[in-house]
Structure formats: C-alpha cells, structure tokens
Structure 1
Amino acid sequence: MKKIIIVLAFIAASAGAYAQAQFAIGIKGGPNFANLNVSDPGATYKARTGWHAGGFVLMKFSKIGIQPEILFSQQGSKIKVQGNDLNANYSYINIPIMVKLYTVAGINLQAGPQFGFLTKAESDYNPVTGEPINSTQDFKNAYKKSDVSLAMGVGWDLPFGLTIDGRYNLGLSDVSDQAAYETKNQVWQISVGYKLIKFGKGN
C-alpha cells in the first residue's frame, strides 16, 4: 500500500510540474564582440564586431529552464602586428546548452557549456609563422575543428514571446593546431529573440 501511495504521489507531482511547464521554439540573433586570447608576445589583439543568428528550444519548469540552441557565429579578432592592422575572420556553428534560473518578471541568470564547430578561418595574418601577409587566405587547417566554451549571462523573457540576452562565452579549449601560439575564443553577445511556437504557461 505504501508503494502505491508513493507512486501515486510521484505521478501527481509530475503532472503538476508538467502542468506548470512551458515549451517554446524560437529564433534569436544579434551582434558579437569577439576577440582571441593568444599567447603571442609580438601582436596585439582587439575585438572584432560580427553577428550571430539561429534558433532555440526552451523547456521551462517553474524557476528553472533548459535552453539548447544552435547558432551561426562570426568570431575572430583584429590584430596589430609589426605596425600592420590585420583581421582574423572566423565562423563557427555553436551549440550552447543553457540552464536558466528565473528570478522576477522573466529576468533570468544563465550558464552552461557551449560546443563550437569551425566552418571558416580566413586572415591576412599567418597564425603559423606569426607574420602579416599580402592577401586574405584560408587558415582553417591551422585550427582545431571544435571548441568548448563556458557561456554565462543574463536574460529577460518579456511578454508576447520576446527575449533579450546578454552573454559572455569564455573559451576553455586551445583551438590552435598548426598555429604557433595557444589560442582561445572570447565572445560577448547581445541577442534579441522571439518565441515562434509556445506551449504551456509563462511569457
């Protein structure tokens, strides 16, 4: 009898949780302010402005949400070396898996791992030799094909399905392969999103 009561209580609690749950599918995008953390004593690295765009799925249970995303992201850096102003233009497909802690009025704190996959690495700076070159070239082979970052930020789920996020992606893995110096991604992002499809309660 005790076991039956426990099972019924678990089912009731689960049903209550799902009754309060929100499921949403949406799109998001915005500017990137990307830089590279490179152990290169002969060059100075500054932020490069790019953009990101993609989609997300939100599963929200009371004060906790889980939000996997898939985003195209322009990253890289501006580089000053030997008096030359150069550019490193990299692109990734990123898959962050965010855990969101909701506070009041849809405001939430976010953190989670991000897995990135390199799609482009073009530059007029040679990361293998550390020298400037005369034209923009493909240096994708100088970098690893994948990246792992820690994503942290704050967001606001507004009424009518709108969302706003500010996030910092701290590169944890060295993405250099043939490149001469250890290299890690660093990206600030501001996103505006919209929930296209919603089920359940909540904003």
Structure 2
Amino acid sequence: MNKLRILGAALLVMIASQSFGQAQFALGVKGGLNFAKFDANDAGGSIKNKTGFHGGAFALIKLTKIGIQPELIYSQQGSKLKLNGQDLESNFSYVNIPVMLKFYLIAGLNLQVGPQFGFLAGAKSDGYDVAAQQFYKDRDVKSLYKKSDVTVGLGAGWDLPFGLTVDARYNLGLSKIDDDAAAAAAKNQVFQLSLGYKLIKFGK
C-alpha cells in the first residue's frame, strides 16, 4: 500500500512538473481602437458608433492550452445620436478591468471570454435642454450615470512570435449605465481591435 502511495505521488509530481514546465507568465502593454455605442430601448433617434481608443496593461498566466489574462485598460466609449436633424455625441471614459479566459487552439490562435468591470472616469454629452428649449454641447453629465459598469467580453486573438499579440473583442453591457429609472435602458456596447506586446515573458 505504501509503495502504491509513493508511486502515485511520484506520478502526480511528474505530471505537475510537466505542466508547469509548459507554463508561461507574461506582462505587457496593449492598445487600439474602440467602436462604441449605447444600446438603448428608446433613444428617440438614430444611434451610431463612435470611434475612440483604449490602452493599458495586461498579465498572462498560461498553462498548456488555457490562459487567464487580467487587464487594466483606459477606454474611450460613448455613442453618437442623430435626433431631430441634430448630430449629438456622448464622450465617456472608463477604467476597465477585464479578466479573460483564453482557450488556445493552434499556432497561438485563441478564443476569449470573461467578465469586465468598469469604473466611470468621465462623461460629457450633447443633448436637448427641455427647460431652455435648445440643444447643448459637451455638458458634464457624470453625476447622472452609474459609477460602475459590468460587461461580458467575447473575442478571438493571436499570440504571434516575438511577443506580439492581436485581439478582436466585443464587450456586451450587462448593466444599465444611467441612474434615471425613467430614462432609456442604455447599456454599453464596444467592439475593440487591439495590438499588444509582451514586455516580460517567462516560460514557453
């Protein structure tokens, strides 16, 4: 019995050693374009994408075919809206913390899924002032919106040689971003294209 236990323990050590021998830890930076808009049930106009950028840092813990990649990202979001012939724009900025689970296929190609927790850093918007009966531009509206946001990220990526990474990700808002119960149930929708580079890398 003792010999069986010793043999079993030795096998577990060998498997663990082989797995960790193929593990990778990396730290890097990434950035790219955002194509963002609000998903609103009743916006009263035509909603269009707004182009912005995102940038920040990531860490990757990869074990064989599965990786976990937490990130810290500054993200320009918002939306465009055409209302009564007027082109209006909302410029929001978030500090986002995605935690992506990466499933590796072949040659560095991977599929990604995971939650993202966002914190509102700033919010300015064009709109219509009912009391003054006129449109306004670039008004600070941060106090009207929730300070946090929850989304789910879905995407695909490619870990290239020499530390380069390419990602395409769609972040679908799960929570309403405004505090006004009477307002349209607006949620964030953001499509991202990213280019990254692993500054520090250990393992395969």
Return the TM-score normalized by structure 2.
0.92
What residue in structure 1 maps to residue 51 of structure 2? Answer: 49
Partner Cα separation in structure 1 for residue 72 and residue 125 of structure 2: 25
Task: Give the conservation status (yes or no) of the 8 Å contact 1:124–1:132.
Answer: no
What residue in structure 1 maps to residue 179 of structure 2? Answer: 177
| CA pair 99-167 structure 1, distance change in 2 beyond 3 A | same
What residue in structure 2 maps to residue 29 of structure 1? Answer: 31
What residue in structure 2 maps to residue 63 of structure 1? Answer: 65
Aligned partner of 2:93 among 81, 91, 94: 91
Partner Cα separation in structure 1 for residue 93 and residue 157 of structure 2: 24
Partner Cα separation in structure 1 for residue 24 and residue 48 of structure 2: 40
Partner Cα separation in structure 2 for residue 30 and residue 37 of structure 1: 22
The aligned amino acid for 2:177 is: V
The answer for unaligned runs of 5 or more in structure 2 is: none
The aligned amino acid for 1:49 is: T
Identical columns (%): 55
The answer for unaligned runs of 5 or more in structure 1 is: none
What residue in structure 1 maps to residue 202 of structure 2? Answer: 199
Deviation at 1:141, TM superposition (A): 1.3
- 1:63-116 CA-partner distances (Å, limit 9, x unpaired): 111111110000000111121101000000111111111111111111111111
Deviation at 1:39, TM superposition (A): 1.7
Counterpart mapping for 1:24-173 below 5 A: 24-125=26-127, 133-173=135-175
User: Mean alpha-carbon deviation: is it higher for 62-71 or for 117-126?
Assistant: 117-126
User: Mean alpha-carbon deviation: is it higher for 8-17 or for 104-113?
Assistant: 8-17
What residue in structure 2 maps to residue 11 of structure 1? Answer: 13
Task: Give the conservation status (yes or no) of the 8 Å contact 1:128–1:142.
Answer: no
Partner Cα separation in structure 2 for residue 34 and residue 79 of structure 1: 12
Partner Cα separation in structure 2 for residue 127 and residue 15 of structure 1: 65
Runs of 4+, deviation exceeding 6 Å = none
The aligned amino acid for 1:184 is: K
- 1:26-54 CA-partner distances (Å, limit 9, x unpaired): 00000000010012251221000000000
Partner Cα separation in structure 2 for residue 78 and residue 125 of structure 1: 11
Q: Which of structures 1 and 2 has the bigger CA Rg?
A: 2
RMSD: 1.9
User: Mean alpha-carbon deviation: is it higher for 5-14 or for 64-73?
Assistant: 5-14
Partner Cα separation in structure 2 for residue 157 and residue 60 of structure 1: 12
Residue aligned with 1:7, SS: helix
Aligned partner of 1:190 among 149, 171, 193: 193
